[in-house]
Amino acid sequence: MGGSLVAMTSDSAHRNGCRDGQENGCGNGPDGGRGNGAAGWAAVEAAVPEFAAAVRARFGAYRHHVLATLRKDGAPRLSGLEADFRYGELWLGVMIDSRKALDLRRDPRFALHANPGGGTDLADSDVRVAGRAVEVTDPGPKARYAAAVKPPEPFHLYRALLTEVVRTSTEPPFIKLEIWRPGRPLRTIRRTSDGAPPKYPEALEERE
C-alpha cells in the first residue's frame, strides 16, 4: 500500500500545477514527495502508516483547524482553516486574496494545529504539522478538487509539503510526544510535568 501511495503522490504532483520555481520538491520525484527537507502526505503514510493514520483521524474529528502564517513584519497570524486529505496529499483551501493567502504567497511557511475540541485533557491526542504551502495553479487539478470538495469559489489551493508532524498524547504518568521529520525515523519522547528531563537521554535534542 505504501508503494502505491508514493506512486500516487509522484503522479499527482505532475498534475498539481505547483507554482514554477516556488519549491524544488514540487515535482515529487522518486524520493516519495520530498523536497528541500519536506515531504508530501503520502510520504508520511508510506514511512509511518499507523502514526499517519492517527494524525489524519485527529484532523478528521473536526472541520475547522488553526493555521499559523507569517505577516509581512514577521509576526504570526492565526486563522481558521479547513484542511483536507485526499489524493495522497494534505490540501489547504484559502479564500481568494485573504490575508493568509497573501502571507503564504510572500512566505510559504506555515503551521497547522488540529482543532483541540472541548475539554482540557488529551484523551484524543493533540496533533500539529508544519511545512511549506505550494500553490496549485493548474486549472485542471483545481477543478478536480473543487468538484470533490465544493469550496466557496474563487479560492486559492495549496499543497502541503511537511517538515514536521507531531502528535502529543498521555501515557500516565508521562506526556508522550511522537515526532516525524522527513528522512528520519519516528521519535518518541516521554516527559513529566515536574520539569524532569525526558525519559530517554537520546531525545534531549528534541526538547522544545
- Residue 122's pLDDT band, with cuts at 50, 70 and 90, is low
Side chain identity, residue 30: P
For 67-106, how does the pLDDT look when each residue is reduced to its tens digit (9 = 90+)? 999 999 999 999 999 899 999 999 999 999 899 999 999 9
Average pLDDT score over the chain? 80
User: Vertex 193, ends 192 and 198: CA angle to 5°?
Assistant: 35
Mean pLDDT for the stretch of residues 8-18: 36
pLDDT in tens, 148-171: 999 888 899 999 999 999 999 988
The number of angstroms, rounded, from the C-alpha of 92 to the middle of its chain's C-alpha atoms is 9
Lowest mean pLDDT among 54-58, 137-141, 192-196: 192-196
Q: Which helix (H) or strand (E) holds 129?
A: strand 126-135
Share of the chain above pLDDT 90, in %: 60
| pLDDT at residue 152, as a whole number | 85
Task: Assign residue 54 a region (left: φ > 0; alpha: ψ between -120 and 50; beta: otherwise).
Answer: alpha
Predicted confidence band of residue 199 (pLDDT cuts 50, 70, 90): low
